[in-house]
């Protein structure tokens, strides 16, 4: 077992019951306060451990990283040190936060209240890839737009289908989402029109953040994939369905996707999720050898989506789980690099919409409202087929709980403005 994951560990920092951030989590992010410039931190309970201050005291010396790594406004340099270093640093931070650590005497200088901090996008994202790896989601979309009896395209069970997205418009939780304008064709017998998207949707996803990969031309196998995945965040891949529908033939998603994606501020390390690995579905037909994998490569992370209108009272519209994925991250990374494509520190690879098998577990309004035919009733009496101006979409998720350490992701919020 990874030392920092031991369930019996306790901290000198007060961790409220039910907190997403107990000792066994220690997710990394970038924060600032009135007095502290943007810098790396680790969430613990309702506090943040200031890694710049911890590093300046020499407490992270000799671990394979430099003190200046923790003076940067992104995590790229730290993540760029590779899995061995980030694991060692997390274990060291766990020691420093244990109830017997003398760091407790410096609490006032090394801890910051999360409520007093601004959280920033944790990495500068060079490249963003979006997969399409939930069978239930792909089937639902196939049933709606193609053949209900033959919903999956012929390649779907052979390839983790994906596309290259836009990195520049990925924003941190809390950033307002401006409703995109664009070209749509609402009526198949009329010419296209220009205007605000009327079918704005969320997509419930998780995204993984990479360590540097191998040189261009080399491949990463499924067995090696863990060493190249730093951690995960919650991800809302906002989608303008009407723009997407008109533009996507024949090259795929473009302006219906690239106006914004929202990401949660804390990156939960793959190490912290280690105890929550679970088996994936049986893959039939058998995959090609480069996509075969051994061991448990799926993760049991409970996920939910809430829509909170301006009137205040929200409604949970989806409860799903990351374990529902057909293709896992090992396979996604092996497939992404099988042609020699390289990856860099801080690249983001999103899962694709995570739908479960039953209604109530669908990860987009497209599926929840079944293309607008089954509106959702909101507590204030209004209806939702898609997302309206003033609505906040909130995704939350956690592994564990129920007697096991709760490895939470916090939340990702995005409020749509016109
Ligand atoms: Ca997506």
CA 203 to ligand 1 center in whole angstroms: 6
- 223 & 366 share domain: yes
Domain final residue pick, 66, 86, 120: 120
CA 389 to ligand 1 center in whole angstroms: 21
- 132 & 101 share domain: no
Active-site residue, 137 included: yes
Q: Return the closest-CA partner of residue 209 out of 333, 50, 298.
A: 333
- 171 & 236 share domain: yes
CATH number (domain holding residue 209): 3.90.850.10
Tokens of 270: 């793959």
Do the beta carbons of residue 12 and residue 104 sit within 8 Å?
yes
What distance in Å separates the CA atoms of residue 406 and residue 126, rounded to the nearest whole number?
A: 31
> Which of helix, strand or coil describes residue 356?
coil
**pLDDT > 90? residue 87:** yes
CA 265 to ligand 1 center in whole angstroms: 19
Domain that holds residue 397: 128-417
CA 113 to ligand 1 center in whole angstroms: 33
- 114 & 134 share domain: no
- 142 & 100 share domain: no
CA 404 to ligand 1 center in whole angstroms: 31
> Which of helix, strand or coil describes residue 90?
helix
pLDDT at position 174 is 98
What distance in Å separates the CA atoms of residue 256 and residue 204, rounded to the nearest whole number?
A: 16
Give the pLDDT mean for 313-329: 98
pLDDT at position 312 is 87
pLDDT in tens, 288-309: 999 999 999 999 999 999 999 9
- 105 & 197 share domain: no
Q: Return the closest-CA partner of residue 327 out of 152, 166, 167.
A: 152
What distance in Å separates the CA atoms of residue 138 and residue 152, rounded to the nearest whole number?
A: 7
Do the beta carbons of residue 230 and residue 209 sit within 8 Å?
yes
Question: Of 137, 211, 298, 336, which is the active-site residue?
Answer: 137
- 364 & 250 share domain: yes
Domain final residue pick, 93, 120, 147: 120
pLDDT in tens, 226-241: 999 999 999 999 999 9
Do the beta carbons of residue 231 and residue 346 sit within 8 Å?
no
Domain final residue pick, 120, 141, 176: 120
What distance in Å separates the CA atoms of residue 256 and residue 238, rounded to the nearest whole number?
A: 8
Give the pLDDT mean for 346-356: 98
Q: From the CB of residue 406, how many other CB atoms can be counted at a distance below 10 Å?
A: 19
- 247 & 174 share domain: yes
pLDDT at position 1 is 87
pLDDT at position 267 is 99
- 253 & 368 share domain: yes
CA 219 to ligand 1 center in whole angstroms: 25
Calculate ∠ Cα 323-397-143, nearest 5°.
Answer: 50
- 207 & 339 share domain: yes
pLDDT in tens, 242-265: 999 999 999 999 999 999 999 999
- 226 & 208 share domain: yes
Q: From the CB of residue 174, how many other CB atoms can be counted at a distance below 10 Å?
A: 16
- 260 & 143 share domain: yes
**pLDDT > 90? residue 362:** yes
CATH number (domain holding residue 61): 2.30.30.230
What distance in Å separates the CA atoms of residue 68 and residue 70, rounded to the nearest whole number?
A: 5
pLDDT at position 257 is 98
Confidence class for position 118, pLDDT limits 50, 70, 90: very high
Domain count, the chain: 2
Output the furthest CA–CA distance in the chain (Å, rounded): 73
| Residues shown for the chain | 418
CA 238 to ligand 1 center in whole angstroms: 8
């Amino acid at each position: 077992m990874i030392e920092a994951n031991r369930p019996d560990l306790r901290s000198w920092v007060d961790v409220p019951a039910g907190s997403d951030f107990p000792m066994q989590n220690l997710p990394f992010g970038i924060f600032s306060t009135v007095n502290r410039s943007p810098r790396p931190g680790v969430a613990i309970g309702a506090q943040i451990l200031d890694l710049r201050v911890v590093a300046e005291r020499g407490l992270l010396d000799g671990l394979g990283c430099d003190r200046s790594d923790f003076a940067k406004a992104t995590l790229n340099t730290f993540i760029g040190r590779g899995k061995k270093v980030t694991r060692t640093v997390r274990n060291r931070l766990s020691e420093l936060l244990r109830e017997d650590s003398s760091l407790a005497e410096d609490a006032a200088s090394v801890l910051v209240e999360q409520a007093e901090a601004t959280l920033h996008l944790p990495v500068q994202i060079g490249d963003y890839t979006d997969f399409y790896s939930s069978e239930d989601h792909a089937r639902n979309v196939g049933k709606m737009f193609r053949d209900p009896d033959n919903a999956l395209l012929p390649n779907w069970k052979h390839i983790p289908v994906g596309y290259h997205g836009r990195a520049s418009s990925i924003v941190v939780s809390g950033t307002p989402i401006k409703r995109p304008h664009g070209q749509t064709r609402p009526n198949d017998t009329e010419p296209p029109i220009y205007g605000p998207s009327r079918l704005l949707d969320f997509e419930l996803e998780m995204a993984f953040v990479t360590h540097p990969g191998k040189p261009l031309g080399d491949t990463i196998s499924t067995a090696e994939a863990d060493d190249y995945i730093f951690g995960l965040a919650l991800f809302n891949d906002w989608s303008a369905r009407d723009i997407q529908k008109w533009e996507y033939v024949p090259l795929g998603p473009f302006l219906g996707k690239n106006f914004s994606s929202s990401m949660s501020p804390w990156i939960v390390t793959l190490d912290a999720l280690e105890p929550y690995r679970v088996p994936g579905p049986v893959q039939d037909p058998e995959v090609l050898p480069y996509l075969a994998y051994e061991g448990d490569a799926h993760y049991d992370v409970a996920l939910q989506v809430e829509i909170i209108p301006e009137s205040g009272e929200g409604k949970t519209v989806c409860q799903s789980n990351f374990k529902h994925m057909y293709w896992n991250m090992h396979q996604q990374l092996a497939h992404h690099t099988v042609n020699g494509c390289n990856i860099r520190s801080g690249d983001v690879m999103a899962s694709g919409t995570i739908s479960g098998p039953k209604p109530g577990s669908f990860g987009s309004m497209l599926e929840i409202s079944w293309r607008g035919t089954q509106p959702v009733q909101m507590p204030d009496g209004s209806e939702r087929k898609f997302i309206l101006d003033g609505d906040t979409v909130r995704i939350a998720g956690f592994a564990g709980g129920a007697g096991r350490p709760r490895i939470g992701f916090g939340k990702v919020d995005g409020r749509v403005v016109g």
